[in-house]
């Protein structure tokens, strides 16, 4: 049984095909520049040369068709026929309060997903476009939605409600939802395993670091607070998103620049964060490299980013109580050591002591590493996240009828002896 996982963005798609028997990865790949010209696909398979090509895709249906064609290609593919795909797991960013568990997708589920699209327009709309295309191209197999927000449904009211008119929550569902659920789930389970304890006995802070950034506070293995909110715009400084700002700024700038709400929303989501500070969009690894070389604006961006992360870590230490470990994902490359070093500097007062050498050399590629000093009272781990694995296992749970709440589910990556997959 092979499971295909899809993560569809506006102009890119990430996919993985894995075995539902031993969870081995058969292929992983991505498409870039979907629907904007110059579309490219890259696919990697264990033990084989990487394959890349340029094939124009005018929409997500074209893109999903290309994924299937590449997986089944006689020369570059890894399966003989699309019928060897048993199920598809779709990452859906926003599930609102309607979806607390992964679900099998039908027309009613799709209709509900569409009503939630305005809460995450940069994510849910392409998520849904990819889902509809895949269901059309692979109609005979189950399609499972795995929601980012489901993981955070354990938050108490005091954490997920905003200090706004309560009728806004009653009428419109205005509340904190949180995102990156599969990543936080994986990080927390791996951190508990590295501590040698059941996750229900662990208090943790997990940090997902990529184009989007979010933190999660976990008490006894479940989310009790998280940095993203009603939408993925709140929280830490991100690649193009502003994160936390004074709520008065939008009204001020609408008046000052005569902006429409659409224009303002685009600026906050696509032209802010690191991009806004630098004045241009650059790859994260390039921005960190520039900061290490002393570029003033890049240094400023790094200082701002680490300052915001440091504040969240301190707040979550207070919110959770005694914390056993902090787990941070590996980010986008080897340069991430400088961001971690700046983030954890000054947290010694909390008993968090970083081993600078381990931080710089011990967390490379897909390797997990403990980067805290031997006498640190709180362990700090770098753990390459594996959201695709989580999605695939959620698919199997739905298909087997064993989709209990995630806090008590038996994930393979929580078990003793688990070895992270070294992706091709």
Whole-angstrom Cα distance, residue 399 to residue 396?
5
Q: Burial level of 250, CB count in 10 A (0-12/13-18/19+)?
A: middle
Torsion of CA 204, 208, 214, 217, to 10 degrees: -10
Task: List CB contacts of 288: < 8 A, sequence separation 6 or more.
Answer: 298, 302, 333, 335, 336, 338, 339
For residue 344, give every residue at least 6 positions away whose Cβ sits within 8 Å of its Cβ, in sequence order, or none: 310, 352, 354, 380
Active-site residue (options: 73, 81, 136, 148): 148
**φ, ψ for residue 392, nearest 5 deg:** -65, -40
Give Cβ neighbours of residue 115 (< 8 Å, ≥ 6 apart).
none
- 191 neighbors 325 (Cβ within 8 angstroms): yes
Q: Is the dihedral of CA 284, 89, 173, 317 positive or negative?
A: negative
What angle do helix axes 296-320 and 336-344 make, rounded to 10 degrees?
Answer: 50
User: How many Cβ atoms sit within 10 Å of the Cβ of residue 60?
Assistant: 27
Residue 148 among the catalytic residues: yes
Two tokens, residue 275: 């991009």
**What are 136's two structure tokens?**
């059309």
336-344 and 284-292 helices cross at what angle (nearest 10)? Answer: 70
Give the residue numbers marked as catalytic: 148
């Amino acid at each position: 049984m092979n499971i295909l996982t899809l993560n569809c963005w506006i102009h890119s798609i990430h996919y993985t095909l894995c075995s539902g028997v031993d969870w081995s990865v058969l292929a992983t790949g991505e498409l870039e520049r979907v629907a904007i010209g110059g579309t490219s696909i890259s696919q990697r398979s264990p033990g084989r040369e990487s394959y890349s090509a340029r094939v124009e895709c005018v929409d997500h249906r074209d893109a999903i068709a290309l994924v299937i064609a590449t997986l089944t290609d006689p020369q570059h593919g890894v399966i003989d026929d699309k019928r060897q795909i048993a199920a598809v797991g779709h990452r859906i960013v926003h599930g609102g309060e309607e979806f607390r568990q992964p679900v099998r997708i039908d027309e009613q589920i799709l209709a509900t997903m569409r009503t939630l699209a305005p809460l995450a327009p940069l994510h849910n709309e392409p998520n849904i476009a990819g889902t509809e295309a895949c269901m059309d191209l692979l109609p005979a197999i189950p399609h499972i939605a795995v929601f980012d927000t489901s993981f955070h449904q354990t938050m108490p009211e005091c954490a997920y409600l905003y200090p706004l008119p309560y009728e806004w929550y009653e009428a419109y569902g205005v509340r904190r939802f949180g995102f990156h659920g599969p990543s936080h789930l994986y990080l927390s389970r791996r951190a508990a395993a590295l501590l040698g304890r059941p996750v229900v006995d662990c208090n943790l802070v997990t940090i997902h670091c990529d184009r989007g950034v979010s933190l999660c506070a976990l008490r006894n293995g479940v989310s009790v607070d998280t940095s993203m909110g009603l939408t993925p715009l709140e929280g830490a400084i991100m690649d193009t998103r502003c994160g936390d700002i004074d709520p008065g700024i939008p009204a001020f700038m609408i008046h000052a620049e005569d902006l429409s709400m659409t224009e303002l929303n685009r600026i906050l989501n696509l032209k802010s964060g690191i991009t806004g500070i630098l004045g241009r969009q650059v790859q994260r690894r390039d921005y960190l490299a520039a900061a290490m070389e002393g570029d003033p604006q890049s240094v400023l961006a790094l200082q701002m980013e680490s300052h915001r992360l440091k504040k969240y870590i301190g707040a979550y230490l207070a919110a959770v109580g005694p914390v056993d470990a902090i787990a941070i994902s590996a980010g986008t490359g080897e340069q991430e050591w400088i961001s971690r070093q700046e983030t954890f500097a000054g947290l010694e007062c909390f008993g968090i002591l970083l081993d600078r050498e381990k931080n710089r050399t011990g967390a490379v590629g897909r390797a997990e590493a403990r980067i805290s000093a031997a006498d640190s009272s709180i362990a700090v781990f770098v753990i390459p996240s594996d959201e695709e694995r989580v999605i695939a296992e959620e698919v199997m749970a739905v298909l087997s009828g064993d989709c209990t709440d995630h806090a008590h589910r038996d994930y393979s990556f929580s078990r003793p002896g688990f070895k992270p997959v070294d992706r091709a």
